[in-house]
Structure 1
């Protein structure tokens, strides 16, 4: 949670305007940073630029002084008010002996707060503060309530005494809550000053924190150790008074009762503030949504009802899918019932996935239910498989070593992200990229491509978009750099999706149809050269189209993280390296391991077993991707078992068997590229890769692994539209501070389509040569 939210959540609602205005100070830091970058780009004289930076620091210190003065004024006033109320309340209690059930209590044994505090501080100097404000205002609160003695003089019967005791008890509890909140007020503001000074030093590479914090903040009265000691002594006074008056002198019981009330009060306030924060956030988002994307509705003919256009589109797509299913179930296309039914299910699933009439994973959940009742699966002898055996075979196909490897990849990604390892690596690399846009672009592209290998190309773009925020916030309005950087991250993450077996869901699907499993070593050998060359091609196209240096020759520097390396981070890195090394060596240890999924159990067991990851991290896994892959595998098993896949492959073989293998690979690569561009990388792999495998097996000289791996790599090459993969979807949603999107569909078309075509050509040329050399 951001500290500004933490501050708002933990602040006393009635005092909210008296806390450090953290957000305004942070905005001032970013404004100074932006002006400094503008000086660099304008090639201002270095001495003059340094003078501007010093002026910015002076402006920031002035704002800090104002906030410190505000905190000082509020604290001294509130301290005097609460301490005076406590003195008055004790005086009232001393005025009536019946209140106390023990004569041992006397507040004289406690500290006289303000007198002692004044004597301690009288010889100290406080910059920018008014010591005369320390004088207690003890009589101010007396006029606001009746004294206890005057109430007792009116009526001294037992019922009234009980009422007065209840009133004293309530006042003590309220005072305890108020003083506890004052203690929290001091701690929150101290943290606010520490964090905002740390952010200033990090953003502007200064050393203001050590100077200002020690000389100004910690020397200010609210934050001095003596002040906190006196405040704690007042809480002790209340605890003693409450214990002697209402708990028979038992301070433990008194403390427990008062803390219960404090906890209830804090819970209520936080719940109220949290609801208000959520309400405001929703209000802002809803307003933006109405202004930018009004909800379209459609009037149902012959009725007064309206339906959302998005829901209507879904219903139309669902109707088309069901109609196609029914028609194909009734039409004999292949001469075999099982093949006909399986073809109907395949087309139904393809339409549902392509149109997203329902969420992709929901369609995957429907597939196993349809496979068994339709009687699609067959035994090796050609007979229809019994329902029980078919169910067992279907579920067996849905959880394989490939799924286990996917879960292992999720565990590695979660650990690397949770403990900041991926971010630390990326920030250190980018901090060395300089300030020239072309080199910063190249660095962020290769960082996103590299991270996609290990934390998937779904999570990588989000991380990289966060890393370039210091650059985006300092750019001039309508700068060419912003769309160039964002598009570079998106396209390089798509390219990075082909780099390792766990970098994207389509690779998981591809490996499922490769026999033997290529392992990480062979996959790297084929995929990395293609990915690296595709990155350079994409980089060149982005520089050619956007010319980012034309309006912003120098960018803000990305600062590396300065946190110390922890033992947990070292442990995670060792486990990650060990797991990847075993995956790379899988082919040589296959006789002992059996499957890559067995190796994937290592990070799952180690990370969850040692507490590095917990149940919440497990819940955050991309289970929708897992379910989607499982549904696709169940469908692939059905297509194979029914004989449909072999039938389709034989018919395709008759038309392309005379072509050389490189031409067949090119045909399938461009076919899958079109499908992946307009629909989804994963869906393209689920539907087309099984057919490619069967065609490869039916060739005069079989090359199933070559065609399957080439087709799988081509899935990641589809990046010409905003809907072409998760990275593009994440990029199109980013907006500048004014609420305007950084990218449009035109940006993806101009750069994404040429990059997709060149990457695909590299797959069936360079990739063909490498895979042939590997024996595929």
Structure 2
């Protein structure tokens, strides 16, 4: 939770205007930061720029002083008020009540001072107000000490009316004590929250504006102010203890622990009420904020269902059309004899059905994957080794075996590495330190952030990397002039670099996991790096040049706000995470050398899983946060691939394609498949493109006169990451197109992706079947 939310959530609602205006001060810091960058870009005189920055600092200090004075005044007022109330209440109790316990002789049993606190609940029965009113005592009192006479003796000489009034006064005094205890506790919390607010805002100031105000202002101003002095805290704590002892002496037979327990029950109830009230206000404000970002509050488009008077949302109508169209195509293909074999016909119908469902997203992608095993077995698609139809029990076993393999295990291992690197701030620390050395020129900042995005994709996947990089450049985005072309340039650079980074390592994207499933022998990390890294580096440089050519960021803004590196100290947890990560990657790279001992890369992937979760580095929440939808999508694709292979359909299709391409050179065949996948992955998910086309490519390569299955499969897998010409082309593009400026206006439009993304997609594809082909042929593929 952000501190601004925490402050509001824990504040006393009635005092909310008297806390430090944290949000106001934070906005002022960002405003000074923006003015500082503007002055740096627009002012040729360094003295004027220094003067302008100094004015902003003076304004911030002035606002800090105002906030400190506000806290001082309110605290002094509440302190005087509450202490006076306590003195008056103490006087009233000492004058009106006996010195002994008020309920001592009311037939209410209280424990002695030495009774264990754990036994209090079973030994104490507090009287209700009605039971107090019904107490009648008849003891006599000595005349020589009327003021200190017992409560019973007083009650015996009082009329019923006096008795009623006295009990009412007793209940009122008890309520006042509890109310005073709650108020003093809230005042203590008020001081602590405001002290944290000053610490946080000064830390934010030093981080954003690269200053050193925190230590000076805290020591000389905040901690020297009366509310935050140690003596003041001790005095307040003493007053709270005073209330506890008064309550204990009056109502709990001098048992302070029991008194504290009773009063804290009321304190918890008050805090719960306050927080519920504040939470509702926060939700209401959040809704108003979100509503302010909506430019046009149009009702959703409605369409009428054919042959009925019912109207449904247009989006739902499109989904229903896509779903029923897929089902109709499926039913038709089930009844058409295309290949002369029932298993192959049914498998072809299932393949087209799944492809259409994935392409149109009639239902979520992972839901389609979950439907595939359900259809494979009843349709009787799988065959035995002798060509006969596999029995349902054996078929179901084969389907589920195909859905979990070493490749899926490696995907989970990659998720655990990504989760640990992100959770402990290692990825962010690395990225911020690299960007802090990039300077302020837009061209070098753009190259740096693209390089960082590409590198991080190797370890934390191209799904999570864009989100991290977008947060890293937020200090730049918030200081740019309105409508600046630098913002879309940077965001598009991150998105395209992340798409390119999706090919850099076996765990950098789901399509690579699918590709590895169809490569035998497994290329290992060494060969993958050797092929993918040169292509990725050249692609990023070409993309960087295209962005500079289209947007010309140096002309728009000569200098950008400098990214500040994280100043947190390295922890032992971070060292441990890095050690496990390096060990895992090293074993993956050496997998071919230790294959006879390890067996599969999936076994190595188990290392980070059991180490991180076993030592508490990652927990249950981290496990739940894994991209399980991607895992299910990959498993469904594997089940479909197994069905297509077992039915003989894949070999039949491959043989027909082979007849058309067998006279071509392998580089020409690779080029054809690369461009086919490029078109497919541009309009649908990269992972879906790999699921549908890579199995076919593998069979074609295996049936060539000179087999090249690994060459074609790896080339096709890399080409899946080249599709980046539309906002829907991959996770990075979808994340980038959702980014908005403070007014709610999107930074990027479809034309931005078309202008830069389409040419870069073609360039990357050319590099794959030229440079990539040369490297793969050189390693024997």
Structure 2 length as normaliser, TM-score?
A: 0.91
Task: Tell me, in whole angstroms, the C-alpha distance in 2 between the residues paired with 1:159 and 1:702.
Answer: 103
After superposition, give the CA deviation of every residue in 1:514-541 in whole Å (9 maximum; x if it has no partner). Answer: 0111111111000000000000000000
Shift of 1:741: 0.7
Mapped contact 1:481–1:548 kept (Cα < 8 A): yes
Sort the Cα spacing of 1:180 and 1:382 in 2 relative to 1 into closer, same or farther, 3 A.
same
Equivalences for residues 18-417 of structure 1 within 5 A: 18-98=18-98, 100-101=100-101, 156=161, 158-286=163-291, 288-289=293-294, 291=296, 294-300=299-305, 303-417=308-422
Name the SS for the 1:291 alignment partner.
coil
Shift of 1:279: 3.2
Shift of 1:677: 0.4
Q: Identify the residue that residue 146 of structure 1 maps to in structure 2.
A: none
Runs of 4+ in structure 1 deviating by more than 6 angstroms, as ranges, are 152-155
Could you list the runs of 5+ residues in structure 1 that have no partner in the other structure? 105-148
Number of aligned residues: 730
Shift of 1:550: 0.7
Q: Identify the residue that residue 551 of structure 2 maps to in structure 1.
A: 546
Shift of 1:257: 1.9
User: Is 1:527 the equivalent of 2:532?
Assistant: yes
Task: Tell me, in whole angstroms, the C-alpha distance in 1 between the residues paired with 2:559 and 2:443.
Answer: 10
Sort the Cα spacing of 1:734 and 1:365 in 2 relative to 1 into closer, same or farther, 3 A.
same
Shift of 1:285: 2.4
Mapped contact 2:673–2:697 kept (Cα < 8 A): yes
- For residue 431 of structure 1, the aligned residue among 433, 436, 448 is 436
Shift of 1:161: 4.1
User: Is 1:722 the equivalent of 2:727?
Assistant: yes
Equivalences for residues 440-479 of structure 1 within 5 A: 440-479=445-484
Task: Tell me, in whole angstroms, the C-alpha distance in 2 between the residues paired with 1:269 and 1:643.
Answer: 68
After superposition, give the CA deviation of every residue in 1:537-567 in whole Å (9 maximum; x if it has no partner). Answer: 0000000000001120111100000000001
User: Is 1:693 the equivalent of 2:698?
Assistant: yes
Shift of 1:155: 6.3
After superposition, give the CA deviation of every residue in 1:32-85 in whole Å (9 maximum; x if it has no partner). Answer: 111111111114311221111111111100011111111111111111111111
Q: Identify the residue that residue 4 of structure 2 maps to in structure 1.
A: 4
Mapped contact 1:462–1:730 kept (Cα < 8 A): yes
Shift of 1:289: 4.2
Name the SS for the 1:95 alignment partner.
helix
Mapped contact 2:294–2:744 kept (Cα < 8 A): no
After superposition, give the CA deviation of every residue in 1:684-725 in whole Å (9 maximum; x if it has no partner). Answer: 001100111011111001111110000000000000000000
Mapped contact 2:103–2:251 kept (Cα < 8 A): no
Shift of 1:476: 1.2
Shift of 1:176: 1.3
Mapped contact 2:293–2:743 kept (Cα < 8 A): no
After superposition, give the CA deviation of every residue in 1:558-599 in whole Å (9 maximum; x if it has no partner). Answer: 000000000100110000000000000001000000000100
Mapped contact 1:99–1:165 kept (Cα < 8 A): no
- For residue 649 of structure 1, the aligned residue among 654, 662, 675 is 654
Shift of 1:199: 1.1
Could you list the runs of 5+ residues in structure 2 that have no partner in the other structure? 105-153
Name the SS for the 1:298 alignment partner.
strand
Deviates more, 1:647-656 or 1:161-170: 161-170
Sort the Cα spacing of 1:39 and 1:406 in 2 relative to 1 into closer, same or farther, 3 A.
same
Shift of 1:292: 6.6
User: Is 1:579 the equivalent of 2:601?
Assistant: no
User: Is 1:496 the equivalent of 2:495?
Assistant: no
Sort the Cα spacing of 1:154 and 1:419 in 2 relative to 1 into closer, same or farther, 3 A.
farther
Sort the Cα spacing of 1:505 and 1:99 in 2 relative to 1 into closer, same or farther, 3 A.
farther
Task: Tell me, in whole angstroms, the C-alpha distance in 1 between the residues paired with 2:24 and 2:545.
Answer: 40
Name the SS for the 1:717 alignment partner.
coil
Sort the Cα spacing of 1:636 and 1:253 in 2 relative to 1 into closer, same or farther, 3 A.
same
Deviates more, 1:304-313 or 1:12-21: 304-313
User: Is 1:619 the equivalent of 2:621?
Assistant: no
Task: Tell me, in whole angstroms, the C-alpha distance in 1 between the residues paired with 2:775 and 2:631.
Answer: 30
Sort the Cα spacing of 1:434 and 1:158 in 2 relative to 1 into closer, same or farther, 3 A.
same
Mapped contact 1:430–1:444 kept (Cα < 8 A): yes
Shift of 1:304: 4.8
Shift of 1:156: 5.0
Sort the Cα spacing of 1:332 and 1:157 in 2 relative to 1 into closer, same or farther, 3 A.
farther
Task: Tell me, in whole angstroms, the C-alpha distance in 2 between the residues paired with 1:293 and 1:418.
Answer: 40
Task: Tell me, in whole angstroms, the C-alpha distance in 2 between the residues paired with 1:164 and 1:686.
Answer: 79
- For residue 566 of structure 1, the aligned residue among 563, 571, 584 is 571
Shift of 1:174: 1.7
Deviates more, 1:243-252 or 1:493-502: 243-252
Task: Tell me, in whole angstroms, the C-alpha distance in 1 between the residues paired with 2:369 and 2:95.
Answer: 78
Mapped contact 1:102–1:249 kept (Cα < 8 A): no
Shift of 1:201: 1.2
